[in-house]
Amino acid sequence: MVTDSDHLRNQRVVFYSDDIEQIDVVLAEFLELSGCKCNLLIDKEGHMVTSGGDTNSIDEQTVAALVAGSYAATREMAKLLGEDEFSVLFHQGKRDSIQLSMVGNRTIMATVFDDQTTVGMVRLYARAACEKLDAIFEEIRNRPQKKASLDAEFGSSAKGALDFFFTE
């Protein structure tokens, strides 16, 4: 019988260096072709997967949480309209704009760009990049899952970190 903790465990997301290297190559190519400022790859829960380009002026974690929230809300709207989901979202600003593209069914690519490029260029290359990323995620999903192994001292180290952090 599959327990709920099994369910949770099975759903845990693990990214290895090799995966991220492959993903980073696709993102770098996309940034170069489209002329965008930066790119964030975010999972549906709002956790950052990886990023590319100039992200110095961005609070990545907060943007990731808001992107995931925005996407989740829009998906619900789509369902109310009888759609599965809206695969592309676009927020236009005076200076910077952001496009959110769904990659597979659990990752979102957030692309920040300014007037150095156009929406059309971004949309064109984003579609190609999303297809490549989807293929990578598909490969990750289909290969035999090896168990992610944390350091043997994770437990004691975590307890120490909690005691240290939460000292009032």
Partner 1 sequence: MVQINFALKEVNCKIVYYGPGLSGKTTNLEVVHQKAPDTSVGDLTSIATEGDRTLFFDFLPLNLGQVAGMKTKFQIYTVPGQVYYNSTRKLVLQGADGVVFVADSKRGKMNENIESLKNLEENLKEHGLDIANTPIILQYNKRDLPDVYSVEEMEEALNAWDAPHFEAVARDGKGVFPTLKRLAGMVLESLNENHAPRRSPSVVAPKVSADSSGGSTTATAVATSRTGTMRTQRTASVTGSVARTRASVSTQAPTVRTTSSGARPVLVTSPRRRKRRSSMVVGIVLTSIVAATVLLHLAGIIRILP
Region of 45-53, 96-104, 109-117, 119-127 interacting with partner 1 (CB under 8 A): 45-53
CB 34 within 8 A of CB 121: yes
Return the residues of window 54-73 that contact partner 1 according to CB under 8 A.
Answer: 59, 61-62, 65-66, 69, 72-73
Residue closer to partner 1 (CB basis): 33 or 66? 66
Shortest reach from residue 22's CB to partner 1, in Å: 10
Shortest reach from residue 33's CB to partner 1, in Å: 23
* Token couple for 50: 């990886």
Number of residues that bind partner 1 (CB under 8 A): 55
CA atoms of 72 and 106, how far apart (whole Å) = 11
Neighbouring CB atoms inside 10 A of 77's CB total 11
**What's CA 82's distance to the chain center, in Å?**
25
Return the residues of window 131-150 that contact partner 1 according to CB under 8 A.
Answer: 147-150
CA atoms of 166 and 1, how far apart (whole Å) = 38
* Token couple for 36: 């965008």
Shortest reach from residue 116's CB to partner 1, in Å: 26
Q: In what order do the strands lie in the sheet with 107-113?
A: 48-53, 38-43, 107-113, 97-103, 88-91
Binding mask 70-89 for partner 1 (x = CB under 8 A): --xx--x-------------
CB 48 within 8 A of CB 38: no
Region of 84-92, 118-126, 135-143, 151-159 interacting with partner 1 (CB under 8 A): 151-159
Residue at 152: amino acid letter: A
The contact set with partner 1 (CB under 8 A) reads 3-5, 7-9, 11-17, 19-21, 43-50, 59, 61-62, 65-66, 69, 72-73, 76, 147-168
